[in-house]
């Protein structure tokens, strides 16, 4: 294929997604842009309702009524996934070259079919394998995600497996067609911490071995720290800061990123009082003018009422904050 190393694997440009609900138009994604390079792991962090899931659901074509993609573009290997002319390309790409792992492994597996049926279905549909070929490949895949006795497991139903095991099956299914990009939407939120650690280690190992790109959506900064090369922080339907994970954690620029890092309790640090961010996230039916974080921000000025876009701050860091940019140029 003609992937040049220079075009990012996935590029989301100014994505606008609105949901037409009875209560009004929910502006879930208000111009989200990000890129994922080959073999890179991007973490998207944000609180509930920040639009992080909506952004990747748009990539997977999972925005249904009453939601509508109303602006921007999504490019996979340089080709648009939203262009009506590229429908065939889209169908080939989604599920095959871009695979998704969902939060709840119980509801995303079909309870009335065996694990084997569900994995081989993917292989036969997308790769046109025969039954036997698919079975063999399915066993290899289960082996790849460290499930032992794969032959026995293929005959089992989802209810016979623990949550961690089911999530491994989901990962195996996602890997079935050797995707270029895996989107994991809160893959460990429903799991206990020891199982979470195992799944994250598995993802990191597979990412390294198979050189796939990963988008990891999470609300847990610890998970980002463990797995991601880059991190994008979302707030109220926008990305407020994006950059190299180490650098963002070491020197966050946007007040929300700073607040989020301070508010996340750490096992290795004792404080008497937890740091909170006062106030509540805005209602996305009528988001505040300008910077959506300004009502909760202690550095808010008049400038903050003017709308702001992601602005580069050097070394691959982009921030959407008037104060930060002023402070930098001074």
Partner 1 sequence: MIGQAKEAISRAENEAAAGSPLVCVKDLGVIFDAGRAGFWGRKRLHVHAVEKVSFDIHPGETLGLVGESGSGKSTTGRAILGRVPVSAGTIHFQGKEITHAGKEMVRALSRHMQLVFQDPYASLNPRMKIVDIVAEPLLVHGLVKNSKEAAGEVAQLLELVGLPPDAGARYPHAFSGGQRQRVGIARALALKPQFIVADEPVSALDVSIRAQVVNLMQDLQARFGLAYLFIAHDLAVVRHISHRIAIMYAGNIVELADRHLIYDSPVHPYTKALLSAVPVPDPPVQRARQRITCPGEAPNPMDPPAGCRFQSRCPHVTQTCRDTAPVLTPRRPGQTAACWNC
Q: By the criterion CB under 8 A, which residues form the site for partner 1?
A: 47-48, 162, 192-194, 196-198, 200-201, 219-226, 245-246, 249-250, 259-261, 263-268, 270-271, 273-278, 280-281
DSSP letters, 256-284, are: HHHHHHHHS--TT---SS-----S-PPPT
Question: Please, which residue, 23 or 128, has the CB nearer to partner 1?
Answer: 23
Sort residue 312 into left (φ over 0), alpha (ψ -120 to 50) or beta.
beta
Residue 219, classed as helix, strand or coil, is coil
Query: Kind and range of the H or E element at 240?
Result: strand 238-244
Q: How far is the CB of 200 from partner 1 (least distance, A)?
A: 7
CA dihedral 223, 229, 233, 239 (to 10 degrees): -150
Tell the smallest beta-carbon distance from residue 166 to partner 1 (Å).
14
Residue with Cβ nearer partner 1 (85 or 270) = 270
Three-state DSSP state, 328: helix
Report the residue number, 61 or 222, with the smaller CB distance to partner 1. Answer: 222
Nearer CB in complex with partner 1: 49/179: 49
Contact at 8 Å (CB) between 81 and 59? Answer: yes
Q: How far apart are CA 254 and CA 320, in angstroms?
A: 7
Q: Are 28 and 53 in contact (CB under 8 A)?
A: no
Beta carbon of residue 280, minimum distance to partner 1 (angstroms, whole number)? 5
Closest approach of Cβ 190 to partner 1, in Å? 9
Using alpha carbons, select from 17, 35, 125 the residue that is nearest to residue 77: 35
Minimum distance between the CB of residue 270 and partner 1, rounded to whole angstroms? 7
* 59-95 burial: b if 16+ Cβ within 10 Å, else e: bbbebeeebebeebebbbbeebbbeeeeeebbeebbb
Nearer to partner 1, 3 or 192 (CB): 192
d(CA 173, CA 167): 10
Residue with the two structure tokens 């300004």: 294
Q: Which is nearer to partner 1, 9 or 233 (CB)?
A: 233
**Residue 11 vs 241, nearer CB to partner 1:** 241
Residue 260 C-beta: closest distance to partner 1, Å: 6
Smallest distance from partner 1 to CB 322, Å:
21
């Amino acid at each position: 294929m003609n992937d040049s190393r220079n075009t990012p694997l996935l590029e989301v440009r100014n994505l606008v997604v609105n949901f037409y609900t009875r209560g009004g138009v929910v502006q879930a994604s208000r111009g989200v842009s990000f890129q994922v390079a080959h073999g890179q792991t991007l973490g998207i962090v944000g609180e509930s309702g920040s639009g992080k899931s909506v952004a990747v659901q748009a990539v997977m074509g999972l925005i249904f009524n009453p939601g509508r993609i109303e602006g921007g573009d999504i490019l996979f290997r340089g080709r648009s996934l939203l262009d009506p002319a590229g429908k065939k390309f889209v169908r080939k790409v989604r599920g095959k070259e871009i695979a998704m792992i969902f939060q709840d492994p119980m509801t995303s597996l079909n309870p009335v079919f065996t694990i084997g049926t569900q994995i081989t279905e993917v292989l036969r549909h997308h790769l046109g394998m025969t039954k036997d070929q698919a079975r063999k490949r399915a066993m290899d895949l289960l082996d790849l995600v460290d499930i032992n006795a794969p032959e026995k497991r293929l005959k089992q139903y989802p209810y016979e497996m623990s949550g961690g095991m089911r999530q491994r099956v989901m990962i195996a299914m996602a890997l079935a067609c050797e995707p270029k990009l895996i989107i994991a939407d809160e893959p460990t939120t429903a799991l206990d911490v020891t199982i979470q650690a195992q799944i994250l280690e598995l993802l990191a190992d597979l990412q390294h071995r198979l050189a796939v790109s990963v988008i990891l959506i999470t609300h847990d900064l610890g998970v980002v720290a463990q797995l991601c090369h880059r991190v994008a922080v979302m707030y109220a339907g926008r990305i407020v800061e994006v950059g190299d994970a180490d650098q963002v954690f070491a020197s966050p620029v946007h007040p929300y990123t700073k607040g989020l890092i301070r508010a996340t309790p750490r096992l290795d640090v004792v404080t008497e009082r937890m740091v909170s961010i006062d106030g509540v996230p805005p209602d996305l039916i009528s988001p505040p003018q300008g910077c959506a974080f300004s009502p909760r921000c202690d550095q808010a000025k008049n400038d903050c009422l003017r709308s702001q876009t992601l602005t580069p701050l050097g070394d691959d860091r982009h921030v959407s904050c008037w104060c930060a940019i002023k402070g930098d140029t001074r």
